[in-house]
Amino acid sequence: MTDNTQNTLQIAASGLRAQSARMRIISENLANAESTARTPEEDPYRRRVPVFRAELDRATGANMVRMGDARLDDSEFRLSYEPGHPAADAEGYVRYPNVSSLIELMDMREAQRSYEANMNMIEGARRMMERTLDLLRR
């Protein structure tokens, strides 16, 4: 396997890992989209946002993508008037997470497309290696 092919596979694999971690965070956001705090004083779940960073692989000299620590989205919580809810404040409002299912689903679709693009890169590199081996056998 040539160095370029190996680098291509390693870069694509790092992209797969990063997108997989991104999908995990999005799934957590969606799972907690309607959760509330137990009491009015507590905050509900706060949306997490994935953060990517480039990291130099010293062995190959290639830049790999890595998932950094997810940051918290500091946007406002959603308010809903539910005076009988245990987490309602003195005015009857319950704070819900700052998660929009529509945004999360769009992010999930983008992560899925990025994941597929990295899979296609791996498949292309594999086909090139097979062709090279076929040529060497002749």
- pLDDT single digits (tens) 5-43: 788 888 999 999 999 999 999 999 999 999 999 999 999
How many domains does the chain contain in total? 1
Residue 92, Ramachandran bin (φ over 0: left; ψ between -120 and 50: alpha; else beta): left
Residue 74 has a pLDDT of 96
Domain that holds residue 28: 3-137
Partners of 93 in beta bridges: 81
Residue 137 has a pLDDT of 87
How many angstroms separate the CA atoms of 42 and 29, rounded? Answer: 18
pLDDT surpassing 60 at residue 1: no
pLDDT surpassing 90 at residue 3: no
- 82-129, pLDDT tens digit by residue? 999 999 999 999 999 999 999 999 999 999 999 999 999 999 988 988
Q: Which residues of 101-135 are buried (b: 16+ CB within 10 A; e: fewer)?
A: eeebeebbeebeebbeebeebbeebeeeeeeeeee
Count other Cβ atoms within 10 Å, centred on residue 33: 18
Residue 59 has a pLDDT of 78
Kindly list the distances between the CA atom of residue 30 and the CA atoms of 74, 98, 99, 100, in Å, as whole numbers in the listed order.
Answer: 17, 11, 7, 8
Residue 6 has a pLDDT of 81
- 36-89, pLDDT tens digit by residue? 999 999 999 999 999 999 888 887 778 888 888 899 999 999 999 999 999 999
Residue 2 has a pLDDT of 59
Q: Give the DSSP H/E element, type plus range, for residue 78.
A: strand 78-81
Least Cα distance to 87 among 95, 79, 75 occurs for 95
